[in-house]
């Protein structure tokens, strides 16, 4: 699978660990940065970079990490076709894939250990979208006025 990855300074270390593991499984990872935790950077820059790659179809999925996963998730979700979710447990990852066809996983670099983040990522990678009644709901996410 082709996956884009990005993080701000607060998520840099965890992003590096997740990217290493993704590559070890044979996934092609496009790392959009940041390149260090030493300099404070703006999370929206990296959320938008990954969001653009997913929205354009250049990659199938994305992984984003900031301190909590919240801000970077918000920035990715600004892109039509992106369904980013900030996940704190493997169950969050499972349900966002099954019911929401989540294509961008967001993680909290200051909240999760490497092992916790990887457990979440594994479930997110392996869980299929159920489709069915959820397809219409997912389609509504990209409509201007779904009501």
Predicted TM-score (pTM) of the model is 0.97
Query: Torsion angle of alpha carbons 128, 58, 85, 12, nearest 10°?
Result: 120
44, two tokens: 């929206």
For residue 10, is it within any domain?
yes
- pLDDT of res. 136: 94
For residue 145, is it within any domain?
no
Give percent above pLDDT 90 in the chain.
Answer: 96
User: With bands split at pLDDT 50, 70 and 90, how would you rate the model's confidence at 145?
Assistant: confident
CATH number at 15 reads 3.40.1400.10
For residue 146, is it within any domain?
no
For residue 54, is it within any domain?
yes
For 51-80, the pLDDT digits (tens) are 999 999 999 999 999 999 999 999 999 999
User: With bands split at pLDDT 50, 70 and 90, how would you rate the model's confidence at 146?
Assistant: confident
Taking the alpha carbons at both ends of the chain, their separation in whole angstroms is: 35
Q: Give Rg (Cα) of the chain.
A: 14
User: d(Cα 144, Cα 147) in Å, to the nearest integer?
Assistant: 9
For 90-111, the pLDDT digits (tens) are 999 999 999 999 999 999 999 9
Contacts of residue 30, defined as CB under 8 A and 6 or more positions apart, other chains included, come to 2, 3, 4, 5, 53, 58, 59
For 12-25, the pLDDT digits (tens) are 999 999 999 999 99
For residue 60, is it within any domain?
yes
Contacts of residue 103, defined as CB under 8 A and 6 or more positions apart, other chains included, come to 54, 60, 61, 62, 81, 82, 83, 84
Could you tell me the residue range of the domain that residue 99 belongs to? 2-140
For residue 147, is it within any domain?
no
Catalytic positions, please?
Answer: 66, 99
Into how many domains does the chain fold?
Answer: 1
Contacts of residue 78, defined as CB under 8 A and 6 or more positions apart, other chains included, come to 47, 48, 51
Please give the average per-residue pLDDT across 39-48, as a whole number. 98
For residue 92, is it within any domain?
yes
Average model confidence (pLDDT) for the chain? 97
For residue 45, is it within any domain?
yes
Give percent above pLDDT 70 in the chain.
Answer: 99
């Amino acid at each position: 699978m082709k996956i884009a990855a990005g993080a701000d300074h607060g998520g840099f270390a965890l992003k590096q660990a997740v990217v290493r593991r993704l590559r070890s499984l044979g996934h092609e990872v496009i790392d959009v940065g940041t390149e260090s935790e030493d300099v404070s950077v703006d999370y929206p820059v990296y959320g938008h970079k990954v969001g653009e790659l997913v929205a354009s179809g250049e990659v199938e999925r994305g992984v984003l990490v900031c301190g909590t996963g919240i801000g970077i998730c918000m920035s990715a979700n600004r892109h039509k076709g992106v369904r980013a979710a900030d996940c704190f447990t493997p169950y969050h990852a499972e349900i966002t894939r099954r019911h929401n066809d989540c294509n961008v996983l967001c993680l909290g670099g200051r909240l999760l250990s490497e092992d916790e983040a990887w457990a979440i990522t594994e479930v997110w990678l392996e869980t299929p979208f159920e489709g069915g009644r959820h397809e219409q709901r997912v389609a509504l996410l990209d409509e201007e006025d779904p009501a």
